[in-house]
Structure 1
């Protein structure tokens, strides 16, 4: 996939510039931007009837390494049968998103990922194995369960606590370093913390896990529930990276509607904490939640999609000067046109209203409205 963008941001400074802006492309002096947003390639190889392998590599701005890996795994999937066992082994996304199922974890509906999927792409990746078992009933319904064990995801929660939710389409790669906000007191309160978070490092030597279940009915939809717990040992730190204990529950629904329409809903609630507790109170302790609803309709080669996001975090930790509370909501409207089977044009607008107390430390209004217009040409080959 090749992805070219023309962008018109309204105001603000991006979190990638160590600020608290909610979009990926919002920097000082930016007004109209023409960018090579992403270039990605997925190579799949069938090893035999049951085993296959897949590797996805990509280029995008801000990567530490110009071309790096987002996924690389072995897949075991035998032929279709009423009772089927399957699995994955390697580096891959946990099965949370109900939208990002396209090439290189892209979405066929919007350019900008939901708040939930943005965070999944930034901080979560499985380095381990996942086992699945499913049973197909006579009517075609299928019930499945799955579980996984993994490492190298100890810092998940750092961005969510100190920057908050964001909306964009950048997925972290294997060797990434993502910037933390400057000027909000992170390094003053936690002098051992690096100014960057490395999302895929092992800090505490403790494996995490997730479990879940799915229910599918042909021509109606899919329901999926996941519980995720990285089991981070919050007192561990290595090379400027703290281990965070992050856990959440997630529910997702895809519902087929009349007139070639689709409704996708996702919800997530959890908490993340870090440091040695004093009197049962952690240095950082953030509860978080988010939900989104996307309605999309296809008409031949045309598609119109509308999504509403709501998100928030609470702050219940040792340091009142570490301001991690926020609330927000967003609307994203996308029209895309697919022509000659491999070319796609997109027109999209995203509007975010967010209220984050930490902006006061930067001399900014904690409540901000930000808008991003995008025109994109995507070529799939």
Structure 2
């Protein structure tokens, strides 16, 4: 069974609704960066951050254009295009989907989405805004950096929510389930590059070039069919993956969520230089808003991924805590990350263990209704033994200061 969705068809659906019913929104993010980091993963290194000491001091962090249209009663279409200087000037599809939200008849509210979209796994991201960007920081946590690069739902998602006010309960409760195609190479970056802490978001046709590791580039390497160029959202084995989840809200004071994800990929399949990776994880999150204006967000993820007959395999885990509070004219935030991978495979010459942490301090200052200035100081410390194979030190400390001017229109 195969599911196929076309961003081009969804784009036509958006524009066919008529110009008078289409809402256009956008985001332009211009940045100044100072970093002492070694070679970034975007330059085929094994650094953890998007920018390094050789990155341009001024750049476009991202440019996003989003269209939302009401097609019929309770049916809408959305499409988001993006570009930045580190995507080689390519304009790509970040999301493109149809949504059916029927009028509730009673306590249950349902929604069906079909297309190419982000799974509902982040408590950092402002889903009502444009661009899938964090609310209080410039970089995303390790968890959401990985989701932004290697995970996208290319299929159908159903969700239902029981509103507590209909029964006098002090909480709302929801469930969701999805089936999707693609995401078969998911786990490649996590295994051979490791976690990252950045805000780089992959598009549907995006590629990432791996570091020049001996395991797949040397004539005596084990994985000569593996390309260094990774296509994260490819379909390789014709099988559907799935995720299921649940959530509960106690007003706006406490939000809880959990999700189980499994791409069900055949790890023995290899096609066009891409191996299949069987990747699965469990994810939990919470947002707590105590009295006052504090907001505390927490996420945790634990899972495993495998390629071949345990040719490459590892367990992975990460968690973070983020706290924010208004300060002066803006909002201050601090985030602490922990991340690690532990290998259990059959190729000892391909080390993929790592351990690390990150600290981000950020301040968001609204300048006008559609303009804001955000600053972030980021520190990432990580140890990965595979770095010595490409002439880099196993232990790295990366520091950066980024100033972001964001215009939302």
- TM-score normalised to structure 2 length: 0.89
Question: Contact between 1:296 and 1:304, CA under 8 Å: does it hold in 2?
Answer: yes
Task: Work out the CA distance in 1 between the residues paired with 2:246 and 2:223.
Answer: 39
Question: Contact between 2:59 and 2:85, CA under 8 Å: does it hold in 1?
Answer: no
Alignment of 1:10 with 2:36, yes or no, is: yes
Shift of 1:298: 2.3
Helix, strand or coil for the counterpart of 2:162?
A: strand
**Cα distance change of structure 1 residues 40 and 335 upon mapping to structure 2, 3 Å threshold:** same
Correspondent of 1:297 among 315, 322, 325: 325
Alignment of 1:349 with 2:383, yes or no, is: no
**C-alpha RMSD of matched pairs (Å):** 1.4
Helix, strand or coil for the counterpart of 1:47?
A: strand
Query: Which position in structure 2 is the counterpart of 1:231?
Result: 264
Shift of 1:363: 2.9
Shift of 1:263: 0.4
**Cα distance change of structure 1 residues 304 and 328 upon mapping to structure 2, 3 Å threshold:** same
**Cα distance change of structure 1 residues 192 and 64 upon mapping to structure 2, 3 Å threshold:** farther
Shift of 1:222: 1.0
Task: After TM superposition, list the pairs within 5 Å mapping 1:92-131 onto structure 2.
Answer: 92-101=117-126, 102-131=129-158
Question: Contact between 2:34 and 2:401, CA under 8 Å: does it hold in 1?
Answer: yes
Q: Deviations over 1:146-186 (max 9, x none)?
A: 00000011000000000000011111001111111114433
- Which shifted more, 359-368 or 140-149? 359-368
Helix, strand or coil for the counterpart of 2:388?
A: helix
Question: Contact between 1:64 and 1:177, CA under 8 Å: does it hold in 2?
Answer: no
Correspondent of 1:155 among 185, 200, 218: 185
Question: Contact between 2:216 and 2:227, CA under 8 Å: does it hold in 1?
Answer: no
Alignment of 1:143 with 2:173, yes or no, is: yes
Correspondent of 2:387 among 319, 344, 359: 359
Alignment of 1:75 with 2:108, yes or no, is: no
Shift of 1:64: 5.7
Task: Work out the CA distance in 2 between the residues paired with 1:340 and 1:180.
Answer: 41
Task: Work out the CA distance in 2 between the residues paired with 1:110 and 1:287.
Answer: 28
Alignment of 1:222 with 2:222, yes or no, is: no
Task: Work out the CA distance in 2 between the residues paired with 1:185 and 1:227.
Answer: 31
Structure 2: unaligned runs, 5 residues or longer? 1-26
Query: Which position in structure 1 is the counterpart of 2:50?
Result: 24
Task: Work out the CA distance in 2 between the residues paired with 1:106 and 1:62.
Answer: 17
Shift of 1:196: 0.9
Question: Contact between 1:301 and 1:339, CA under 8 Å: does it hold in 2?
Answer: no
Shift of 1:77: 1.6
Shift of 1:299: 4.5
Query: Which position in structure 2 is the counterpart of 1:167?
Result: 197
- Which shifted more, 175-184 or 110-119? 175-184
Task: Work out the CA distance in 2 between the residues paired with 1:3 and 1:361.
Answer: 36
Query: Which position in structure 1 is the counterpart of 2:312?
Result: 284
Task: After TM superposition, list the pairs within 5 Å mapping 1:234-273 onto structure 2.
Answer: 234-273=267-306
Task: Work out the CA distance in 1 between the residues paired with 2:161 and 2:209.
Answer: 40
Helix, strand or coil for the counterpart of 1:266?
A: strand
Task: Work out the CA distance in 1 between the residues paired with 2:336 and 2:260.
Answer: 23
**Cα distance change of structure 1 residues 253 and 16 upon mapping to structure 2, 3 Å threshold:** same
Shift of 1:219: 2.6
Task: Work out the CA distance in 2 between the residues paired with 1:334 and 1:380.
Answer: 19
Question: Contact between 1:14 and 1:26, CA under 8 Å: does it hold in 2?
Answer: yes
**Cα distance change of structure 1 residues 291 and 63 upon mapping to structure 2, 3 Å threshold:** same
Query: Which position in structure 1 is the counterpart of 2:77?
Result: 53
Q: Deviations over 1:197-216 (max 9, x none)?
A: 10111101111000000101
Query: Which position in structure 2 is the counterpart of 1:39?
Result: 63
Query: Which position in structure 2 is the counterpart of 1:378?
Result: 406
- TM-score normalised to structure 1 length: 0.95
Question: Contact between 1:55 and 1:69, CA under 8 Å: does it hold in 2?
Answer: yes
Helix, strand or coil for the counterpart of 1:72?
A: strand
Shift of 1:46: 1.6
Helix, strand or coil for the counterpart of 1:128?
A: strand
Q: Deviations over 1:75-98 (max 9, x none)?
A: 112335511221110000111111
Query: Which position in structure 1 is the counterpart of 2:4?
Result: none
- Which shifted more, 262-271 or 300-309? 300-309
Task: Work out the CA distance in 2 between the residues paired with 1:324 and 1:186.
Answer: 14
